[in-house]
A and B are shown apart, each in its own frame.
Chain A
Amino acid sequence: METVFDIIFIQELLLSTVRMATPILIVALAELYSERAGLVNIGLDGIMTFGALSGFLICYITGNPYLGILAGAISGILINMIYAFCTIHLGAEQIVYGMAINIFAPALASFIYKIYFGISSTLVQATLMKTVPIPILNKIPVLGVVFFNHTPIVYIAYLLVPLTYVFFSKTKLGLNYKAIGEFPKAAESMGINVMLNKYIACIICGILAGIGGAYLTTAYISTYSDGVVAGRGFIALSAVIFGRWMPGGVLLAALLFGFTDALQLRLQVMSSGTPYQLLAMIPYLSTLFVLAFFGIKKAGPKANGKPYFREER
């Protein structure tokens, strides 16, 4: 009896790890695309919140979670354009703008929700995205349930990892893109359009972060409430650093964050006395530890966070 319980426990734990890691992974990839072009965006939480709201709303209205995801992507772009314009064109401090997005986007999301559903409405339920098991593979014991019985968004998120890897290390566009985050002046001198690429970076970041938010309200839970994102944007930000700006590393980091999250939830359910908060600290503490002792700073794009102006005299 006990062993069966153990296997079920582990299976449940891993399953929820994969599910919980998904939004973090998508949003961390969003940040990766942004930072690779030299734009540190700490406004992920805000973009996610707005994505979550619009995803939920469209899903509620149309009854189609996939349209919700699409809406999340589009609204992510829209919100991130504020950041893009102010940081790329005005050269405003990226951190400040990310923060402004974090305050602005949730306020707007909450406003729209309240306007649509009324001020004191109870939680509204929308359609939840159904899982699409992958034939044959989902029959594998344990692994089948853990990896091959998810919503399509989950598969796409994990597929994005190798795709991102290929983009950055095998394609010309990816190479040019990386150069912008490293040494924009050199990129410009090689005829690469720095401004355009930075905008593209913001669009990709907006799409992915918006999808990450919409995933929460269309495929993870089926309701929207203020604070639904719960700091996942910042966790994603940490995941990028922890993963050393490499797609594979980001995946591992997202899984680690997802795992501690899942474990903490399980422990909370099992006995209320477990100090799960201490467990939840592990990812942050280990990121700090790695930062402090392994000099991670040279791993990041060199021109990250710096405004770029074309040379003029």
Chain B
Amino acid sequence: MRELLVMKNITKKFGDIYANKDINLIIREGEVHTLLGENGAGKSTLMNILIGLYQPTSGSIYYRGKKVKIDSPSKAMKLGIGMVHQHFMLVEAMTVFENIILGVTKDSSIFIKKDRIKKDILELASKYGLNVEIDKPITEISVGEQQRVEILKALYRGAELLILDEPTAALTDIEVEGLFRVIKKLISEKKSVVFISHKMREVLEISDRITILRMGHTIKTLDKNKTNAEELAALMIGKKMVSSKYKKVSKTKENIIALEHISFNKESKHNGIKDISLTVGKGEILGIAGVDGNGQSQLAQVVTGVITPHEGNIYLYGKKVAQFDPNDFINSNISHIPEDRNKMGLIGDMSVKENLILKSIEKSKFSLKKGLFLKKKIINQYSNEMKKKYDIRCSSIDQEVRNLSGGNQQKIVLARELEMEPELLVAVHPTRGLDIGATKYVHDKIISARDKGCGVILISADFDEILKLSDRIAVMFEGQIVGIYSGDNPPIDEISLAMAGKAE
């Protein structure tokens, strides 16, 4: 087979951080080439380079043997590279037809020659088995059909290389089968497909070759027929330090929180949770492992009262929760380190001091008469104490947190949440984007909270972190808990397969 696209020594730096380093990738004509890697392995950066959204820091791209510079999405389109984004780029207020022809300048006519273009599109659609109702508005068609519109959109623009970013993420099983039929059809017509996915079963079913990325590097390109799920999972995750420097404890009898058959948005595999039952005891860390976007955000928001589950019950200290309100959960001594500290945890335009007391300002320690009088002196004193205790590096406690580094921002969240002396701590991606020093600091703090008897739900897409800290490990996949394992000497291979959806 001929080579369609060659990416040679592609490096992309953001500030001091390498998102991609010396990536080499060869896509042949008429193949399905899978990019496999954990979150943050550099897949999306690489694809954004390919479609002209980012410029590589160094390295070169060859298309059909010619060196090319892709500096805009329209340039990529002209070359024949089309992408179906994970979050569809469809204008909801428009019809399928309108979305497909958007921005296309195939003929010089001012008016849209509806009948003729429609005929072309329908021909194209039937050639690849892409059934779409061409005159319906986007809002009225299913997610699977929306995806077919996206593919059709790319094909109508003459795409020869189609990038599908997590295309099965939002689909039902039947829709996935349909998508695979389309992909096979595309291949038989000499088109090439770059397939991005975490799901081992799908990867093994559809791919011809598989390239594994880890921490911004290309690890290996394998032939589908010469590999298996175990090898791929091991390559993707890398060598794991099984021994953790933290002591693991076994589960105590006393439950702090118990979830019984909790569902939220259960039709959605990626923005919902389905029939989850689990318990967290006093002084243990329950790690929730899983690839991003398998319902972890929703789980975190249910157990902190931000969203109300559609089905099931939650018991706090043995008592059923009647109403879901974040404030009630806070008053029940539940702390939350949310997944996005800038959006959900901190008020960026407020000072370090103000963020530290955000939840506790009305406590008698900081104010009199229900907050009518603030004890400014004590607040300042307390904030300076916290600054020292949690090593928050800022010019003063009056500095706006927006201007602090990620690590220092997270320390503020940590200080606020841990100083409440919680009985349950829900920590979501607590070290995302932090450097090694800050990460270790956060880990130590979580462990010491546990040792004081706090129950911890640790949700993280960073498998190392889960292995290091968890006393028990639950794996989440498509909104469900697919297995619970001991955190002491955990079966790493089994867990990584479960994370990729191969629990059986």
Contact = CB atoms under 8 A, between A and B. Distances in A.
Given A178-B94, A182-B91, A182-B94, A170 B102 contact: no
Interface residues of A, number: 22
Interface stretch (B71-79, B295-303, B344-352, B487-495): B71-79
Contacts of A173: 110
Nearest to B109: A172
Interface in B339-366: none
B14 A186 contact: no
Nearest to A174: B112
Contacts of B77: 191
A175 interface: yes
A311 B87 CA distance: 15
Contacts of A1: none
B14 A171 contact: no
Interface in A151-197: 170-173, 175-176, 178-179, 182-183, 185-192
B110 A191 contact: no
B78 to A, nearest CB: 9
A302 interface: yes
B90 interface: yes
B101 interface: yes
Contacts of B103: 176, 179, 187, 190-192
B73 A189 contact: yes
Nearest to A176: B103
Nearest to A173: B110
A188 B98 CA distance: 15
Contacts of A170: 111-112
A302 B89 contact: no
A176 B102 contact: yes
Given A189-B73, A191-B73, A192-B102, A171 B110 contact: yes
A310 to B, nearest CB: 9
Interface string B83-117: 00100011111100010011111000111100000
B382 interface: no
A188 B73 CA distance: 8
B290 to A, nearest CB: 26
Contacts of B90: 183, 186
A172 B105 contact: yes
Nearest to B97: A175
B112 A183 contact: no
Nearest to B78: A191
Contact of A171 (B72, B92, B112): B112
Contacts of A183: 89-92
Contacts of A182: 91-94
Contacts of B91: 178-179, 182-183, 186-187
B54 interface: yes
A311 B90 CA distance: 17
B14 A313 contact: yes
A291 to B, nearest CB: 18
Nearest to B114: A170
A313 B53 CA distance: 10
Interface in B34-59: 53-54
A116 to B, nearest CB: 42
Contacts of A301: 93
B112 A191 contact: no
A14 B181 CA distance: 63
Contacts of B85: 189
Contacts of A190: 73, 89, 102-104
A175 B101 contact: yes
B112 A172 contact: yes
Interface string A274-313: 0000000000000000000000000001100000000101
Nearest to B75: A191
B491 to A, nearest CB: 38
Contacts of B112: 170-172, 175
Interface in B11-70: 14, 53-54
A89 B342 CA distance: 25
B72 A191 contact: yes
A179 B95 CA distance: 12
Given A182-B93, A183-B89, A313 B54 contact: yes
Contact of B111 (A171, A185, A188, A311): A171
Given A175-B98, A191-B72, A302-B93, A311 B110 contact: no
A179 B112 CA distance: 15
Contacts of B101: 172, 175
A179 B92 contact: no
A185 B93 contact: no
A191 B74 contact: yes
Nearest to A245: B93
A34 to B, nearest CB: 17
Interface in B452-494: none
Contact of B94 (A179, A185, A191, A192): A179
Most chain-B Cβ atoms within 10 A of its Cβ — which of A170, A179, A311?
A179
Contact of B89 (A186, A311, A313): A186
Most chain-A Cβ atoms within 10 A of its Cβ — which of B72, B74, B90, B102?
B102
A311 B53 contact: yes
Interface string A180-216: 0011011111111000000000000000000000000
A175 B101 CA distance: 9
Contacts of B98: 175
Interface string B269-284: 0000000000000000
Interface of A: 170-173, 175-176, 178-179, 182-183, 185-192, 301-302, 311, 313
Interface of B: 14, 53-54, 72-74, 77, 85, 89-94, 98, 101-105, 109-112
11 contacts: A171-B110, A172-B104, A172-B111, A175-B98, A175-B102, A185-B89, A187-B91, A190-B73, A302-B92, A302-B93, A313-B14
Task: Sort A-B residue pairs by CB-CB distance and give the 9 closest, nearest first.
Answer: A191-B74, A190-B103, A186-B89, A182-B91, A192-B103, A183-B91, A191-B103, A190-B102, A189-B89
Given A178-B93, A179-B94, A183-B91, 19 more contacts: A170-B112, A171-B111, A173-B110, A175-B98, A179-B102, A182-B91, A182-B92, A182-B93, A186-B89, A186-B90, A186-B91, A187-B91, A189-B85, A189-B89, A190-B73, A191-B72, A302-B92, A313-B14, A313-B54
